[in-house]
Amino acid sequence: MTAELSRWRPSAGLLWALVGGGAVALAFPRPQLFALAWIGLVPLLVQTRQLAFRRALAAGSFSFALVLYWLNIVMTTYGGLVWPLAAVVWLLLSVYLGLYWAVPIWLAVDLRQRRGLSLCWTFPFFWCAFEFLRGKLLTGFPWAQIGYSQYPWASLRQTADLFGVIGIGFLVALGNALIAEVLLRRREGRGWPVRTAVVILLLLVGSQIYGQVRLHAWERPVAEPVRVALAQGNIDQGQKWNPTMLRRTLEIYRDLTVRAGLAGADMVVWPESAAPFYFNEPGPARDLVLETVRQTDTHLLLGAPAYEREESGFRYFNSAFLLTPAGVELGRSDKIHLVPFGEYVPLKWLLPFVDKLVVGIGDFSPGTVRPLRLNGHALGVLVCYEAIFPELARNYVAEGASMLVNLTNDAWFGRSSAPWQHLYMAAFRAVENRIWLARAANTGISALVAPTGEVTVRTNLFETSLVIGQAGFGSGESLYGRGGFLFPYLCLFLALALWLRGWRKTGC
Identity (one letter) of the amino acid at 312? S
3-state helix, strand, coil in the chain (%, to 5): 50, 15, 30
234: nearest Cα among 419, 461, 467, 489: 461
Please provide the DSSP assignment of 93-123 as one string. HHHHHHHHHHHHHHHHHHHHHHH---GGGTH
CA pair distance 462, 467, nearest whole angstrom: 14
C-alpha 420/C-alpha 144 separation (Å) is 11
User: Catalytic residue at 384?
Assistant: yes
Report the C-alpha gap between 146 and 44 in whole angstroms.
15
Spatial contact of 29 and 17, defined as CB atoms under 8 Å apart: no
Closest among 168, 162, 129 to 146, alpha carbons compared: 168
Catalytic residue among 384, 386, 432, 491: 384
Phi, psi angle pair for 299, to nearest 5°: -70, 145
Task: Report whether 252 contacts 239 (CB < 8 A).
Answer: no
Residue 480 burial class via C-beta count within 10 angstroms: exposed 0-12, middle 13-18, buried 19 and up: buried
| Active-site position among 128, 131, 240, 335 | 335
Distance of CA 216 to the CA centre of its chain: 26
The reply to whether 120 belongs to the active site is no
Angle between helices 123-134 and 160-188 (to 10 degrees): 130
Q: 403 — phi, psi (to 5°)?
A: -155, 140
> Looking at this protein, which amino acid is placed at residue 329?
E
CA–CA separation, 357 vs 83, rounded Å? Answer: 16
Q: Which of 272, 343, 386, 432 is catalytic?
A: 272
**Largest Cα–Cα separation, the chain:** 82
Between CA 14 and CA 22, with CA 20 as vertex, the angle to 5 degrees is 105
CA distance 40 to 217: 33
Active site residues: 272, 335, 384
